[in-house]
Amino acid sequence: MGRNEAPPPGDNEAPPPGDNEAPPPGDNEAPSPGDGSTQTGPAGHVGVPAALPPSAEPEPEVPVGGLMPPGAPPDPAGMFQSAKDLLSPSEAARQLPWLVGELTKIALGQSDLEYGAKDARFKDPTWTANPAYLGLGHTYRLFEEWAGRMVGAVDASWERKARATYLANIMTASLAPTNFLMTNPAALKRAFETGGRSLVNGSRNMLRDMAAGGMPKMVDRDALKVGEQLACTPGAVVYREDMFELLQYAPQTPTVRSRPLLMVPPEVNRYYVLDLAPGRSMVEYAVENGLTTFMMSWRNPREELGHGRWGFDDYVAATLRAIEIVKDITHNETINVLGACAGGMTNTLALGVLAAKGDSSVNAATYMVTMMTNASPNVVGMLSSESSQKLLDQAAAANKVVPGSALKTTFAFLRPNELVFNYVVSGWLLGEHPPAFDVLAWNDDATALSARFSADTGRIVMNGSAAVPGGITSQGTPIDLAKVTCDSFHVAGFTDHIVPWPNCYDLTQLLGGEKELALVKSGHIQSFVNPAKTAKYGYWTAPAGGPDPDAWQAGAMWHGGSWWPQWLDWMLARSGEAKKARVGLGSRAYPPLGPAPGTYPLE
């Protein structure tokens, strides 16, 4: 076995939930500083704190949530209790006079309820021109408002209230009249215009999706091949082991900076969210601007191969191995690192281990949508409880792996209107072929996740142990993040529903060194898939200040366009002198094993 093909690692501990999100619409205009703290839900969404979207997690094998009373069946994610909170008989009785009054107004044609300006479900003019459809639409809007009132009346912890919100959003989204043929005027018109062909196509699409598990198909992945249209920046695999492949990208400039950059992607889904299509790839952008770039490509874990033993600490150990290999290949004593979401969490603890040992191998770090604490309401906190942690620990002890299909469904129901029922309508009712779109294709290319990793993530975030010096141990070493003194650049999404931006800001308070933060006016994935030439989203930026994120934002500077150029300037200033680019990839000890994107993204 060659030096760049390693045996499998051992086992330990691990984290996160996910990262699956479709792109929200965006713009480059700066809202007022208070704009994203809360979000009330017009049109298709029950009111919910912006940091707290509807959410979900693993499935049957690995339920996430509380338990019912003794003798009752398990309650995944504590949802039975949340259903009781949502459907409180006393609150329903209190809302009854208002509800009857509103129904009377609808019957008399005097309702002042309106469709949301951005609610595409009701854009067909029939919803306002036809009295029957207008009454139906108003009744549905009343149902949404009633559900919002019921959620608002839940007097419990934010976690329980968030679970009630999650259920309410699924309930209202699933019962929208636009989801059904006879109450969707656009679908009926399409059927008439096509002589029924749209119904035939829609039936075919529905049968296809039912055979594949029941979720509507959201993207045409056949048109976007990994290694051809996606993940196609030229490079080579220079190291392979059971947990990951290490890719080195070919230089595209006559000279390159002497200090290399190692990218650590999320452990959930494929690495190529950082190397999407040409023109939309952060890898491509880095290489085109003279950065010697490496990428870890995590393997899709398989239970039958024993990958259920992989925990968070195993991923930290793998990252430390990758750092040493990059140093060896490039003959450097120090490198720069970049981590996204769960990959940023992994980097954080890896740097904590290095700092505890007095190892200065990392010169500068970039953290994209990364949180280490439960500072603000978030998806992990919503789904975590003492009971759910016990269930996950039991699955972890049995080395279980959560299938990718379960994770994909989970994250789709974070935004049921946009990521589920939108495609029920377009695919099943209108008979349309799904679009070919790079972010959706990546989102659909789901990978599995070890239960151990998921359990560890929840424990790290919920316990807040990373915020306490010595509160968390990795690689047998107590971690004090304040001793991580390298400079760091942080990226957060203003409307991120998975990793709320105040939690990203909180990480700047835990680390030492000089910290810069870019707050992008977008959601989770689009905050870092923000190409320099075609960016839709502007951002605020400033050095990290005191502990109050809102005070930081109030003093930050607004910029139109992408944050990539500012990050590039920051990175180039920390990447050493320019030198002539090498012709070959890898080294004598780590020769190329095959072209990028490698074999693991195809498993």
State the CB neighbour count (10 A cutoff) for residue 228. Answer: 10
Q: What CA–CA distance (Å, rounded) separates 455 from 388?
A: 9
Q: Give the pLDDT of residue 390.
A: 81
Q: Give the pLDDT of residue 38.
A: 33
The band of 204, judged by pLDDT with boundaries at 50, 70 and 90, is: very high
Q: Give the pLDDT of residue 587.
A: 97
Pairing of strands 539-543, 557-559: antiparallel
Q: Give the pLDDT of residue 423.
A: 97
Q: pLDDT averaged over the chain?
A: 87
Q: Give the pLDDT of residue 124.
A: 97
- What average pLDDT does this structure show over 397-417? 87
Q: Give the pLDDT of residue 54.
A: 32
Q: At 352, which CATH number?
A: 3.40.50.1820
Rounded to the nearest 10 degrees, the angle between the axes of helix 451-463 and helix 342-356 is 70
Rounded to the nearest 10 degrees, the angle between the axes of helix 451-463 and helix 312-330 is 100
Closest alpha carbon to 541 in 512, 523, 521, 526: 521
Asked if residue 566 is part of any domain, the answer here is yes
- What average pLDDT does this structure show over 477-497? 96
For residue 13, is pLDDT > 60?
no
The band of 215, judged by pLDDT with boundaries at 50, 70 and 90, is: very high
The pair of structure tokens assigned to 22 is 């479709």
Asked if residue 209 is part of any domain, the answer here is no
* Rg, C-alpha atoms of the chain: 25
The pair of structure tokens assigned to 327 is 């140093």
Q: Give the pLDDT of residue 48.
A: 31
Q: What CA–CA distance (Å, rounded) separates 481 from 508?
A: 10
The pair of structure tokens assigned to 201 is 């196509």
The domain total for the chain is: 1
Q: Give the pLDDT of residue 159.
A: 77
The label of the residue with tokens 């998806």 reads 379
Q: Give the pLDDT of residue 402.
A: 87
For residue 72, is pLDDT > 90?
no
Name 67's bridge partners: 74
Amino acid in the structure at residue 40: T
Q: What CA–CA distance (Å, rounded) separates 431 from 424?
A: 10
Closest alpha carbon to 37 in 376, 367, 369: 376
Domain that holds residue 335: 235-379+464-602
- What average pLDDT does this structure show over 452-478? 91
> Looking at 115-129, 409-423, 492-506, which range is the least confident one?
409-423
- What average pLDDT does this structure show over 165-173? 92
The label of the residue with tokens 């690192």 reads 337
| Rounded (5°) CA angle 233-235-241 | 120
For residue 508, is pLDDT > 70?
yes
pLDDT over 90 percentage in the chain: 73
The label of the residue with tokens 């009295």 reads 131
Asked if residue 300 is part of any domain, the answer here is yes
- What average pLDDT does this structure show over 258-262? 98
Asked if residue 550 is part of any domain, the answer here is yes
φ/ψ bin of 576: left (φ > 0), alpha (ψ from -120 to 50), beta (otherwise): left
- What average pLDDT does this structure show over 56-69? 27
φ/ψ bin of 146: left (φ > 0), alpha (ψ from -120 to 50), beta (otherwise): alpha
The pair of structure tokens assigned to 566 is 């500012």
Rounded to the nearest 10 degrees, the angle between the axes of helix 158-174 and helix 131-152 is 170
Q: Give the pLDDT of residue 385.
A: 65
Q: Give the pLDDT of residue 137.
A: 97
Q: Which residue has the higher pLDDT, 376 or 106?
A: 106
For residue 111, is pLDDT > 60?
yes
Residue 315, SS3 per DSSP: helix
State the CB neighbour count (10 A cutoff) for residue 342. Answer: 30
Q: What is the DSSP string of 160-204?
A: HHHHHHHHHHHHHHHT-GGGSGGG-HHHHHHHHHTTTHHHHHHHH
Chain center to CA of 123 = 29
Peptide bond connecting 597 to the previous residue in cis, omega within 30 degrees of 0: yes
Q: What is the pLDDT of residues 19-61, one digit of tens each?
A: 333 333 344 555 444 443 333 333 333 433 333 333 333 222 2
Query: HEC profile for 208-249?
Result: HHHHCCCCCCCCCHHHCCECCCECCCCEEEEEECCCEEEEEE
Pairing of strands 335-340, 261-264: parallel
The pair of structure tokens assigned to 182 is 């006879």
Amino acid in the structure at residue 242: D
Torsion angle, alpha carbons of 203, 206, 210, 213, to 10: 170
The residues, ordered by sequence, that sit 6+ positions from 11 with a Cβ below 8 Å of its Cβ are: 309, 310, 311, 314, 452
Phi and psi, residue 490, nearest 5°: -115, 140
Asked if residue 16 is part of any domain, the answer here is no
Q: What CA–CA distance (Å, rounded) separates 262 from 231?
A: 16
Q: What is the DSSP string of 543-560?
A: E--SS-HHHHHHHSEEES
Asked if residue 126 is part of any domain, the answer here is no
Torsion angle, alpha carbons of 384, 387, 392, 395, to 10: -160
Asked if residue 328 is part of any domain, the answer here is yes
Sheet of 235-240: strand order equals 557-559, 539-543, 515-520, 487-493, 362-368, 335-340, 261-264, 293-298, 244-249, 235-240, 594-595
Q: Give the pLDDT of residue 81.
A: 81
Per residue in 306-322, is it b (16+ CB within 10 Å) or e — as a string?
ebbbbbbbbbbbbbbbb
Q: What CA–CA distance (Å, rounded) separates 190 from 193?
A: 5
The residue from 232, 341, 486, 504 that is catalytic is: 341
Q: Give the pLDDT of residue 33.
A: 40
Q: What is the pLDDT of residues 386-401, one digit of tens each?
A: 667 788 889 899 999 9
The residues, ordered by sequence, that sit 6+ positions from 578 with a Cβ below 8 Å of its Cβ are: 255, 256, 257, 258, 290
Closest alpha carbon to 277 in 228, 236, 234, 218: 228
Q: Give the pLDDT of residue 315.
A: 98
Alpha-helical segments (H) within 277-362: 282-288, 312-330, 342-356
Asked if residue 520 is part of any domain, the answer here is yes
Q: What is the pLDDT of residues 297-329, one digit of tens each?
A: 999 999 999 999 999 999 999 999 999 999 999
Question: Which helix (H) or strand (E) segment is 540 a member of?
Answer: strand 539-543
| 486 among known catalytic residues | no
Q: Give the pLDDT of residue 94.
A: 95
Q: Give the pLDDT of residue 113.
A: 95
